[in-house]
Structure formats: structure tokens, C-alpha cells
Amino acid sequence: MRRLMSLRRSPAGGLSLPGQMLLYCALAAGALVMIMPFVWMASTACKPDVELNKIPVRWLPENPVCLGNLQQLYTTSPHFNRYMLNSALVTAGRTLGQLITCSLAAYGFARFRFPGRDVIFALCLGLLMVPFQAILIPEYMLIRKLGWLNTFRALIIPGTFSAFALFLLRQAFLQIPLEIEEAAIIDGANPLRVLWHITLPLSVPALAAFAVITVQAAWNDFLYPLVVSSTPDTRVVTIGIALLQGERRTPMNLLMMGSFLATLPMLALFVLLQRYFIAGISMGGVKR
Amino acid sequence: MRSALLQWLGPTPLSRRHALWGMALVAPNVLGLMFFFGIPVLMAFSTSFQRWNAITPPEFVGFANFRRLLADPNFHQAFLNTLKLLALVVPGEVVLALLVAVMLNQPLRARNLFRTAYFLPVVTSTVAASVVWTSIFQPRYGSLSNLLAPLGLGEVRWLVDPGLVLIPIAVVAIWQRIGFDMVLFLAGLQAIPAELYEAARIDGAGRWQRFRHVTLPLLSPTTFLVVVLAVINGFQIFDQVYIMTLRTVPGGVGGSATTLTYYLYRRAFTNSEFGYASAVALVLFAAILLVTVFQLRIQRFWVYYEAGET
């Protein structure tokens, strides 16, 4: 991870001045395309209705009405804040749950021998190969059978178990030299104390990287909540936006305002914890 | 009986204690995984042989769902759409991400700033991104038609025209994946020893030759990983289709934007044909598995591993 962050001398050799200019121009043009939708989102979110249908298109609002549109959004979608809160709850629940169940299990698989261990671990890894869409229907049937439709249980509890996190954390724990833990075990500490006082503190970068990836995936999850929740009190923000989009009368500026609000927490998180996002992806190579 | 159980756990009291601790630690996650994901995997097979509308009890129908798949033009269309989308998205994201990664691997000012810009879409929700891109692709008042206006294309109805609708969907998918692939490529690029470039230069290799004969072969394990993940991800495209066609005709005019995932979702949750939808899900799973296995088999023809690596 460190290496990714550090500026390194180019292996390809120095570029001539025109070459450098070309490189900067190409990179800047690409970056502009990547950023453009965010600019369009923020600018449209602040446009008054009359500016939405002007030709040529206004890139920036002439008379910005950001707060007015925000109020308008709450009139159109009165529970929007509730949806944001629900998303936050689901995200926090899943992330904390995964941190607990997966670090316990990862520690168990990394440091203990017991009958059937390798078979069980292989079974868990096998689940990684199954795309969620392939089990969407039986998952729905299971949740229905449990009577969990339209509950936070459905949105949170299955998401607290993860084969991916188990795999990543086990890898991280295996990196820690055994001798450090053994010293504590000889002193009579039980495995939970060793995990809590030694293994976890030594794995903070890996835990943080895994946590931001989990937070991001949980906040942005759409298909699963779409299937298991259909009432306003358990509705998450991605569904809230889809409802606004589905209502043809919703004007563009309010749609963009909603999208902006739903995007903001993840953008803020990313700006603050960028290196953990990058590390999480390089570590796993898989997003789940 | 009791002693057999003890023997199974371990030969000494200490080792048995150790084994019990291990089992207790893994139990919550393993049991949860098996209950919430393992059981559905098994159910996925059984429900695809049933007819079930979520109201009356399920009924065993043998291979009827699969026979119906073979004759269902909508399913064929969804399958074809998925392949077309893969053909757009996979090369698009891999080539662009490689290009960006190679450029960012140069000594640059503002390198982190650029990397942030390219990565930003990855953390954005696909739903919100699709809403924004829907607005960009709007026929008259969208920013894209405004940019393209000088070309004199007239009014292009990106999300309505059955021949075009997969393009905006692919654009959103590519836009959101470039940053992800780029990070993997950057990690791969930085692992290539600088001495190799030095040696190639001394041998008189130009910039393109160094890229072609040093960078590409040494990066191929990373490229392989990126391609495999891109294909798996491409098969699962759903949010973009759902959101971007919601305001016009869900699933695209005449099903022109319907992918396999979207098709199984609609069959199950709009038409209440859960058994039939499960058969579609099984085909999706089989297709992903087959393509991935195929890629693993052919990797030896193009992926270069240094001795000792596997």
C-alpha cells in the first residue's frame, strides 16, 4: 500500500517537454470526463425549474436556489431524511456485524486446528464464487419464510456474515508473527483476550481497509433492499431515489438534489479515508 | 461413543480445548454463512424445477422451466443483450483503465489529484450515478446532446432507441469501473522492477517496444485478474438498466435493455414466476462459471508468470 502512495521515479524514463504537456492534457481531459457528472449533478440540483429546459444548456445555474430545491425535495419525498437514516443504520449494522463475526472466524481459521477446518474454510470460500443475483430468489424466499420482509433484521442480519471479509481478515492475521501471540498465551491469556489486545490492534490497517469497502457496498446496495423491503419505514436511500426517478413528474433538479444527498456521505468518507479505499481494493481485488 | 468424540476432537485434553476454541470462534460466521447463503445456493437448484407464484404451494415440474427457456424469445434477447453489453463494457473499461494507469505511473505533479478524480465514481452509488447519467443522456436538455449539437446529429434518443440504449448503460458501467481497474493496474505496474526497463533501454528499445515487450507481459497476471473480474461484474449489471429505463419503458423499448439479471428480477418480482426466474438465475450462474473456467484454461497462452509464481 505504501508503495502505491509513494511517488516513484518513472520506470519508463523521463519525457520530453512536449510529451509531458501531452500527458497532462490527456490526463486532465480524462479527469474532466470523470468529474463532469458530479458537476452536472451539483449544478442541476441548484437550478430553478425555469433553467432546466434552456437551450443551450446552462452548465452553472444563473440564479441558484440550492436551499429552495432542498426544501422542495422534502415536500416531494417527505421521508427522504428517514431513508438516509435507514441507510446509515443498515450500513453501520452490517459493518459492525461483519467486523465481529468475521474477525472471530478469521482468527479461528488462522490460528486453530480442529477437525474439518480446511473443508469448512473451503466451503466458505466456495460461496465467494456464487454471484448474489444467482441466489436472489431463494434468498427472498428464505427471508419471507422467516417473516422478515420489511424489517431491519432482513436488511442487516444476512449482511453481517461474509466469506469475503473472512478471507481478507484471515490473510491479514496470518501476516502477524506467531511469537507475539504465543508470549501472551504463555502468560495465560485466553484466545479472545489475545485477539482483542494483540491481533486486532496489529491489524488496524487491514480492518480499516475492509471496513470502508463494506461501508461503501452497504450504503450503495440496491437490488437486495429492492426485493426485501417495500415499506417507507425500512426504505433505504437508494430505493428512495429510484422511487423519485420512477415518478415521471419529479423534476430533474430535485432528482439531482436527492442523488447529491445520497452520494455526499460516501464522497466525504472517500476524501477522508482515500488510502484505505485504495488499499482495500488492492488487497482483495474483489468488491462485494 | 463419548471417547470416540473426544478422540475426534484431539488426542490430549489441551488439544481438545484448543479445537473447541477454534470451533467456537468460527461458529457464528460459518453458521450464518451456511444459513443465509449456503441454503439459498441449494434452494436455487430445487426452485428451478418448480412452478411457484408465491401464493399457492410450489409444484414440481421437472425440466419444464428449462424447456421453456429454450423457446423463450425474451430470454434469448436478454442473453444476447448481456453479451453485447459485455462486449462493450469489458474491453472499454480494461483498455481505458490500463491507459490511465500507465499515464499515472509516470512521475507527475498532481498525481494523487488525478487518481482521486478517476477513482471518485467507484465510491458513488450506481443508483445515484445512473440517475445523473439519465439526465446527461436526455434527448434535448441533457448536457450530452448539448455537447454533440454542433455535430448536427439531431435529436438522439439514447434511452429510447433500441439500437442505442445499451450504449448509455455501458458508459455508466465503464465510468464506474475505470477507477477500480486502475488501482489494480497501478499496483501491478509498480511491481515491475525498474531494472528491466533500464536493460531494455540499453538494448535500444523505444518507448512503445518497452511497453509492448516489458510492461504488457509482466503486467499480464494483473490484466488477467482485471479481465476476469470485469466479466463477472459485467454479467451482473442491473442497477443501471433498472434506473435508466425507469422513466421510459422499463427494460428498454421492446426489451432492448433487458439483461439476464434484469430479466430474472422482472420474471420473479413483477410476474411472480419464481420457478422460471430461478431457471434463468441458474443459467446466469452457469454462464459466469463457464466463462471464468474458460479464462482460467486459456490463461497459459497469454499470461506470463515468473518462475515460482503460480
From residue A278, how far is each of A30, A204, B127, B189 by CA, in Å?
Answer: 20, 15, 22, 15
Cβ-defined contact of B246 to A191 (cutoff 8 Å): no
Full set of structural domains in chain A with CATH: 14-68 (no CATH), 80-284 (1.10.3720.10)
Cα A265 to Cα A270: distance, rounded to the nearest angstrom: 9
Q: In the structure, what pLDDT confidence band is assigned to residue A284 with cuts at 50, 70 and 90?
A: low
Instruction: Say if the ipTM goes beyond 0.85.
Output: yes
Q: In the structure, what pLDDT confidence band is assigned to residue A242 with cuts at 50, 70 and 90?
A: very high
Classify the phi-psi angles of A14: left when phi > 0, otherwise alpha if psi is within -120 to 50, otherwise beta. Answer: beta
Q: What's at A74, amino acid-wise?
A: Y
Q: What's at A247, amino acid-wise?
A: E
pLDDT > 70? residue A8: no
Measure CA A230 to chain center: 22
Q: Among A2-16, A17-31, B201-215, B229-243, name the one with the lowest average pLDDT.
A: A2-16
| Stronger pLDDT, A1 or A224, i.e. the higher one | A224
The pLDDT value given to residue B205 = 87
Cβ-defined contact of A285 to B146 (cutoff 8 Å): no
Q: Which of A54, A107, A163 has the CB atom closest to B33's CB atom? A: A163
> What residue of A is the nearest CA neighbor of B191?
A3
Cα A268 to Cα A263: distance, rounded to the nearest angstrom: 9
Interface membership of B259 toward A (CB under 8 Å): no
Q: In the structure, what pLDDT confidence band is assigned to residue A287 with cuts at 50, 70 and 90?
A: very low
From residue B16, how far is each of A77, A112, A117, A169, B21 by CA, in Å?
Answer: 59, 11, 14, 25, 9
Cα A147 to Cα A152: distance, rounded to the nearest angstrom: 12
**Distance to chain B for A259, nearest Cα, Å:** 5
Best probe of the A interface among B123, B242, B289, B295, by most A CBs < 10 A, is B123
Longest C-alpha distance within chain A, in Å? 76
Q: Say if residue B122 is exposed, middle or buried (CB neighbours under 10 Å; 0-12, 13-18, 19+).
A: buried
Cβ-defined contact of A220 to B126 (cutoff 8 Å): yes
Task: List the one residue out of B115, B118, B125, B153 whose CA is nearest residue B137.
Answer: B153
Cβ-defined contact of A285 to B143 (cutoff 8 Å): no
The pLDDT value given to residue A12 = 43
Give phi and psi for A188, each to the nearest 5.
95, 10
Provide CATH 1.10.3720.10 ranges for chain B.
66-302
Cα B117 to Cα A27: distance, rounded to the nearest angstrom: 10
**Distance to chain A for B309, nearest Cα, Å:** 18
Cα A133 to Cα B246: distance, rounded to the nearest angstrom: 20
Cα A150 to Cα A156: distance, rounded to the nearest angstrom: 11
Q: pTM for this structure?
A: 0.91
Cα B75 to Cα A17: distance, rounded to the nearest angstrom: 55
Residues of chain B neighbouring A144 (CB-CB closer than 8 A): 54
Task: List the one residue out of B85, B140, B106, B96 whose CA is nearest residue B210.
Answer: B106
- Taking each helix axis from N to C end, the angle separating B166-190 and A274-284, rounded to the nearest 10 degrees, works out to 90
pLDDT along chain B (310 residues), means of 10: 76 87 95 96 93 88 95 97 98 97 89 92 95 89 73 81 95 96 93 90 89 92 94 96 94 96 96 95 95 92 70
The full length of chain B comes to 310
**CATH topology for the B66-302 domain:** MetI-like fold (1.10.3720)
Q: Among A252-256, A283-287, B231-235, name the one with the lowest average pLDDT.
A: A283-287
The tens digit of pLDDT for each residue in A91-106 reads 999 999 999 999 999 9
Interface membership of B194 toward A (CB under 8 Å): yes
Compute the C-alpha angle B119/B122/B128, nearest 5°. 130
3-state SS track over A94-138: HHHHHHHHHHHHHHHHHHCCCCCHHHHHHHHHHHHCCCHHHHHHH
Cα A25 to Cα B107: distance, rounded to the nearest angstrom: 15
Cβ-defined contact of B107 to A9 (cutoff 8 Å): yes
Cβ-defined contact of B105 to A11 (cutoff 8 Å): yes
Measure CA A247 to chain center: 27
| Stronger pLDDT, A3 or B239, i.e. the higher one | B239
Cα A143 to Cα B37: distance, rounded to the nearest angstrom: 11
What is B43-76 written as a DSSP string?
A: HHHHHTTEE--SSSPPEE-TTHHHHHHHH-HHHH
Asked whether A90 and A78 are in contact (CB, 8 A), the reply is no
Cα B6 to Cα B1: distance, rounded to the nearest angstrom: 9
